[in-house]
A and B are shown apart, each in its own frame.
Chain A
Amino acid sequence: MEAKTDEIMEAKKKDAYRKGVAVIVLLAFLTISEYWIGAVAYYWWAAIMGIAILKAFFVVRDYMHIGRLFASDEEL
């Protein structure tokens, strides 16, 4: 029983780390994209700010865990 719980916890931990890696890869891609847009078309401010909003969304959702604010104690 205890071994099974450990296995579940280990799987959860791995999932959390994997999610962290996926988010940073996405953020890196978006940052390179906005840098490139800024270099070739600095007047495309809406696209650049759109990318910034998208980046912020992923950080707030996946790194800052805003969902925890709306979760009950049992769900956490």
Chain B
Amino acid sequence: MTTHTVSLTDYRRKTSINRLGLWLFILSDMFVFLGLLVARFYLLGFQSRPEASQIVGLIVTAVLLASSFFMNRAEIAAEFGDQKAFLRSTLITMLLGILFLIGVVGVEWQIAPFGPADGTVGSLFYAMTGFHAFHVLTGVIFLFIIYRNGRKGLYSAERHWPVEAAAVYWHFVDVVWMFFYPALYLIGAAIL
């Protein structure tokens, strides 16, 4: 059996290409979220919004922001070869992501005074939060993969591209929520 080890120079070159590919994917995914955001303002205007729980909205937003902070710590730890800190921060990020999902799908969806079939407001609210929640779920799965691989010791200070990719994806999901949160919870008067 022959072993093939990619040199560090090759690895870095490949990472540069991968990075560009990831950002192109994020750009294309952004257009879908942008479409939903435009639909929300086109259909409801700037004077009205869904009657969703303000307190749940604020809590899930804080949870997602905190998750981004821990994801950043996980990435820094991986960059500097701090295996223990990387695993700990990734686990916290994952748990906060699950907490966000529980907040949106398990709480907000259950207490909302409208359903997905209740006109424009319901359709928009569930489409936007649902599509975003699905991205959070895939992010959690991605984090689980890097956590598992990290436990196996597959990443080092020099070679940790999957960690960087997971971090960029996770922060992107957070950025999307930075626009969805005001669009769904803050701008306009609440309507059913």
CB-based contact B65/A35 at 8 Å: no
Residues of A near B189 (CB, < 8 A) are: 42
Residue of A20, A52, A63 touching B182 (CB-CB under 8 A): A52
Q: Say yes or no for B128: interface residue by CB 8 A criterion.
A: no
CA distance A59 to B113 in the complex (A): 33
Q: Would you give the shortest CB distance from B158 to chain A, in whole angstroms?
A: 11
8 A Cβ contacts from B28-64 to A: 46-47, 49, 54, 58, 61-62
Closest-by-CB residue of B relative to A13 is B80
Given contacts A17-B73, A69-B20, A69-B23, contact A43 B174 (CB under 8 A): no
Residues of A near B187 (CB, < 8 A) are: 38, 42, 45, 48-49
Residues of B near A59 (CB, < 8 A) are: 68, 171, 174-175, 178
- A residues lining the B interface (CB < 8 Å): 9, 12-13, 16-17, 20-21, 23-24, 27-28, 31, 34-35, 37-39, 42-43, 45, 48-49, 51-52, 55-56, 59-60, 62-66, 68-69, 73, 76
Q: Say yes or no for B2: interface residue by CB 8 A criterion.
A: no
The number of residues on chain B lying at the interface, defined by a beta carbon within 8 Å of a beta carbon of chain A, is 40
Q: Would you give the shortest CB distance from B176 to chain A, in whole angstroms?
A: 9
Of B8-16, B94-102, B134-142, B143-151, the one with at least 4 CB within 8 A of chain A: B8-16
Closest-by-CB residue of A relative to B48 is A42
Given contacts A31-B62, A34-B182, A48-B187, contact A43 B167 (CB under 8 A): no
Q: Say yes or no for B104: interface residue by CB 8 A criterion.
A: no
Given contacts A16-B76, A38-B187, A69-B20, contact A56 B178 (CB under 8 A): yes
8 A Cβ contacts from B165-183 to A: 167-168, 171-172, 174-175, 178-179, 181-182
Residues of A near B174 (CB, < 8 A) are: 59, 63
Residue of B23, B79, B185 touching A16 (CB-CB under 8 A): B79
